[in-house]
Amino acid sequence: MEVHISDDEKLFLIHGVEQDIRNDGRACADFRPMILERGVLSGTNGSCRVQLGQTTDVLAGIKLELEAYDPIAEKQPKQPMSFHVDFSANASSQFAGKGGDQYGEELSAAFQVAYSRSLDIIPNLSKTQLAAGYRWKIHVDISVLQWAGSVPDACSLAIIGALSDLEIPEVDVTPDDGGKVSIVLKRPRIGGDVRDEEVPVAMWKLIVTSCPMLLTVSKIGTANLVDCSPEEECCIRSQLLIGVAKNLESTPESDDANEYDITCVKQHGGGLLEMESIDDMTKLATRTAKGLYEAIGNRLNTEEKRKPGHSFLL
Amino acid sequence: MSIEISGPPLVSPWMMLTMSDARNDIDKDKIVIPGQAVCDAPQQFMRGHGTYIRDGEIVSSLSGVVQQLNRLLMVKTIKQRYAGEVGDVVVARVVEVQAKRWKCDVSSRLHANLPLGSVLLPGGDFRRKDVEDEEKMSEFLKNGELICAEVQQVQHDGTLMLHTRNNKYGKLQQGILIKVPPHLIKKSKKHFHTLPYGMAVIIGCNGNVWVTPALPETTVEEDGSHVHEFQIVPQDIRLVMIRVAACVRLLRDYSISIFLNSLTTCYEMSQPYDIKELSEQETSSRLAYLITARLLQELQQQK
């Protein structure tokens, strides 16, 4: 869906934004109502679907892989997550063929940067390093099903949702011949006459309270906006992709500036920005991140478990 | 700052509609799907649009509602692209400027044509028909601009010919455009409405609803210059416009037909809520239910 709007409509929209009234009644820092559901894909280890304002629709799925690597060549443990963003041609005709590839790669790269320090940010992620030479690799695949603005924001929420839904099997690592190790799934003994293979594997989950988010902050006229609709995206002067992560070491008493870390800043599209505006935009991003962390925390705690094997299409 | 994350809706709009009485007056037998027989006694009827004859039976080729005109049976689809009828008021967007015409998007199957000769120049200027004039004319409407026009003619292939030979038609300026499915627009004598809240709305038959501070005819001065062009819309009027736009979206989401009465009813009933709340599931579904009830009641009183 490519949007054309006339100059007069743009003028009306820009004047409105400068008065802090957007065309759908929101203020500049407001998000459209969001929908988040987890466990939507039965074929994945963790999945999540996020809908923004009934239009932008994003689906994230995570697959685990037991990866062998050379411990001598890699001295520092590598970040185990990899991201891939795919734009469906159904989302918008501009993504047909190879149309969405470039934007998809750009976004995946941005997520890679935002999560580059994830071993420090997510407290129990280092548990994915099983033994010297073996680790869990976390493949995060995101599909954009419908496009109506602010896809990165929806993607980052979907990633957090999927990571919180992700179940990683517990394993027993035992030394084997020739300095190698053997890795066996851990099944807790529950007694009774149940065969070993029928006992469910013990699982553990990641702590996602501090996962980085990528937020888009756009400059329209003199105002800074979050969560732009397609019409608003036509009027954008310049846009920043800002990665924000909660700082775990900060105490609740410390001020906002220390509570959140900026993990990446990237400009999307054209336009020039003054240093001062960038400062304002990152401040807006941290404020928004605070609200988003609260909202997603509430939602993840209150969500009821979906029946296994049911897809979100039903 | 307001941020809210919820779960998927428990009640979808169409589920809500089946609960209300609004759809009860449609005979369930008259709703057909492709391949379904349209009537019991095919000998007595003739086949019309959307039907074909299979083994002596009249069968629907579309999914929709069966309509009967004397002995003619036809199937009218519920949701389809805008077809266009002569005399319709449409809100269209210019997508291409050609030598002798503008191509406009009217959310129909084909783009509509607006010939150079069918426009009224501001101030009622006359045109000389030469190449220079054609070049100047193509600057009059640019790509992406919105116009309001009337359908003058429907051609064989369904292409619409538009004209703006009246002061009330022409280029649209500041405002908000909301797209709704064309079948939701109720045809009436008037499609230009100046609402008592200090703004105006054009309900285009093609499903484009234009919410604007004032109707085009009032913004054109005597000498034809658009003096209000770059004026900032005052905040109170802007808020009213945005509320009306939110009302149109609400009516669209819940498949309630859009005409002056439904719009004003929705506007009045939305007063206790914030404009932002109108897009929220909980508020909007409750409001939509009340609006349909009110509209039905008014309809029955008229009868």
Nearest-neighbour CA in chain A from B54: distance (Å): 35
Mutation pick from A19, A20, A24 vs chain B, by most beta carbons of B within 10 Å, is A24
Residue B9 inside a domain? The answer is no
What is the SS3 assignment for A176?
Answer: coil
Q: Which of B195, B24, B242, B210 is nearest to A21 (CA)?
A: B242
Are B52 and B107 members of one domain? no
Mean pLDDT of the region B185-191: 87
Mark whether A194 and A62 lie in a shared domain: no
Please indicate whether, in this complex, the C-beta atoms of A288 and B3 are within 8 angstroms of each other.
yes
Q: Is residue A67 part of a domain?
A: yes
pLDDT above 80: residue B8: no
B98 and B52 share one domain? no
* CB-based contact A226:A153 (threshold 8 Å): yes
Residue B66, domain member (yes or no): yes
A36 lies in the same domain as A181: no
Structural domain that includes position A186: 170-204
Q: Which residues of B touch A4 (CB under 8 A)?
A: 93, 95, 143-144
Q: Is residue A295 part of a domain?
A: yes
- CATH number for the domain spanning B59: value is 2.40.50.100
Same-domain status, A180 and A159: no
pLDDT-flagged residues of chain A (< 50): 1, 314
- B64, B104: one domain: no
Q: Is residue B1 part of a domain?
A: no
DSSP letter at B200 equals E
Quick one: how far is CA B227 from the chain centroid? 28
B167 shares a domain with B125: yes
Question: How many Å apart are CA B8 and CA A37, to the nearest integer?
Answer: 7
Rounded-to-integer distance, Cα B221 and Cα A71, Å: 79
Asked if B105 and B207 touch (Cβ cutoff 8 Å), the reply is no
**How far apart, in whole angstroms, are the C-alpha atoms of residue B151 and residue B112?**
9
Residue B139 CA to residue A235 CA, distance in Å, equals: 22
- Indicate whether A39 and A184 sit together in one domain: no
pLDDT of the residue at B225: 45
In this structure, are B141 and B70 located in the same domain?
no
User: Cβ atoms within 10 A of the Cβ of B87, count?
Assistant: 10
Whether B221 and B133 share a structural domain: no
User: In chain B, whose CA is at the least distance from the CA of A23?
Assistant: B242
Pick from B177, B246, B280: CB nearest A33 = B280
Number of domain units in chain B:
3
Kindly provide the ipTM of the predicted complex, given to two decimals: 0.83
Chain B residues lying within 8 Å of A16, measured CB to CB: 233, 238, 242
Contact A292 B230 (CB under 8 A): no
Flag whether residue A242 sits within 8 Å of chain B, measured between CB atoms.
no
**Which amino acid is located at A255 in the chain?**
D
Last residue of a domain, one of B118, B145, B171: B171
Do A186 and A170 meet the contact criterion of CB atoms below 8 Å apart? yes
Q: How far is B243 from chain A (nearest CA, A)?
A: 7
* Total number of domains in chain A: 2
Give the pair of three-digit tokens for residue B265.
Answer: 């009813």
Quote the pLDDT of residue A250.
Answer: 59
Question: Is residue B97 within 8 angstroms of chain A, CB to CB?
Answer: no
Picking from B253, B301, B242, B292, the residue whose alpha carbon sits closest to that of residue B12 is B253
Distance CA B290, CA B127 (A): 53
Average pLDDT estimate for B108-130: 78
Q: Minimal CA–CA distance to A236: which of A271, A192, A279, A287?
A: A271
Q: Are B86 and B116 in a shared domain?
A: yes
Shortest CA gap B267–chain A (Å): 14
In three-state secondary structure terms, B81 is coil
Same domain membership, residue A116 and residue A189: no
Residue contacts between A and B (CB atoms, under 8 Å): 119
Residue A40 DSSP symbol: -
CB contact (8 A) between residue B3 and residue A26: no
* In the block, residue with structure tokens 């935002």: A114
* Residue B159 to chain A, least CA–CA distance (Å): 22
Report yes or no on B5 lying in a domain. Answer: no
Residue A222 lies in a domain: yes
The size of chain B, in residues, is 303
**Cα gap A31→B3, rounded to integer Å:** 5
Of A9, A23, A33, the CB nearest to B4: A33
Residues A80 and A177 in one domain: no
In terms of domains, do A56 and A175 share one?
no
Q: Are A263 and A294 in the same domain?
A: yes
Chain-chain contact of B145 with A292 (C-beta, under 8 angstroms): no
A314 found inside a domain: no
Label residues A154-187 b or e (16+ Cβ within 10 Å = b). Answer: bbbbbbbbbbbbbebbebeeeeeeeeeeeeeeeb
Q: Is B15 a domain residue?
A: no
- Does the beta-carbon distance from B7 to A35 stay under 8 Å? yes
| Residue A310 domain-assigned (yes or no) | no
Q: Which positions in chain B touch A24 (Cβ < 8 Å)?
A: 242, 245-246, 249, 275-276, 279
- Strands in B46-47's sheet, in edge-to-edge order, are B31-32, B64-69, B72-77, B46-47
Residue A83 token pair: 């991201």
CB atoms within 10 A of CB B212: 25
> How does pLDDT run across A245-277, given as a tens digit for each residue?
887 765 555 555 567 888 888 888 778 888 999
Query: Contacts of residue A304 in chain B, CB cutoff 8 Å?
Result: 7
> Are B63 and B186 contained in the same domain?
no
**Residue A8 tokens, joined:** 């007069």
Same domain for A234 and A283, yes or no, is yes
What pLDDT does residue B224 have? 46
What is the rounded CA–CA span in Å between residue A54 and residue B280?
Answer: 10
What CATH number is given to the structural domain containing B84?
2.40.50.140
φ/ψ of A14, rounded to 5, equals -65, -45
Three-class SS state of B87: coil
Same domain for B191 and B300, yes or no, is: yes
Structure tokens at B29: 């037998």
Question: Residue B25's pLDDT is what?
Answer: 62
B112 and B140 inside one domain: yes
Residues A228 and A176 in one domain: no
User: What pLDDT sits at residue A14?
Assistant: 92
Is any Cβ of chain B less than 8 angstroms from the Cβ of A256? Answer: no
SS3 B206: coil
Report if residue B55 sits inside a domain.
yes
Strand order in the sheet with A213-220: A223-226, A213-220, A238-246, A260-268
Give the domain-ending residue among B46, B61, B77.
B77
Residue A41 lies in a domain: yes
State the Cα torsion B41-B42-B44-B47 to the nearest 10°.
140
- The label of the residue with tokens 């500036």 reads A257
Alpha-carbon gap: A264 to the closest alpha carbon of chain B (Å): 23
Under the banding of pLDDT at 50, 70 and 90, the label for residue B254 is confident
Q: Cα-Cα-Cα-Cα dihedral of B198, B204, B209, B211, to 10°? A: -20
Residue A308, domain member (yes or no): no
Same domain, residue pair A45 and A189: no
CATH code for the domain of A43: 3.30.230.70
The CA angle B216-B220-B226, to the nearest 5 degrees, is 105
With a pLDDT cut of 70, the percent of chain B lying above it is 87
Give dist(CA B266, CA A121) in Å, integer.
49
CA distance B66 to chain A (A): 30
Range of the domain at B114: 79-171
Q: Are the Cβ atoms of A295 and B93 closer than 8 angstroms?
A: no
Residue at A2 is within a domain: no
Please say if the pLDDT value at position B119 is more than 90. no
| Local structure of residue B226 (DSSP, 8 states) | B
Q: Is residue B50 domain-shared with residue B91, that is, in the same domain?
A: no
Is the Cβ pair B242, A25 closer than 8 Å?
yes
Query: Are B205 and B144 part of one and the same domain?
Result: no
B2 is a domain residue: no
Per-residue model confidence (pLDDT) at position B223: 45
- Per-residue pLDDT band at B161 (split at 50, 70, 90): very high
Q: Residue B206 has what pLDDT?
A: 92
Phi, psi of B249, rounded to the nearest 5 degrees: -65, -40
Supply the DSSP symbol for B61: S
In a shared domain, residues A88 and A118: yes
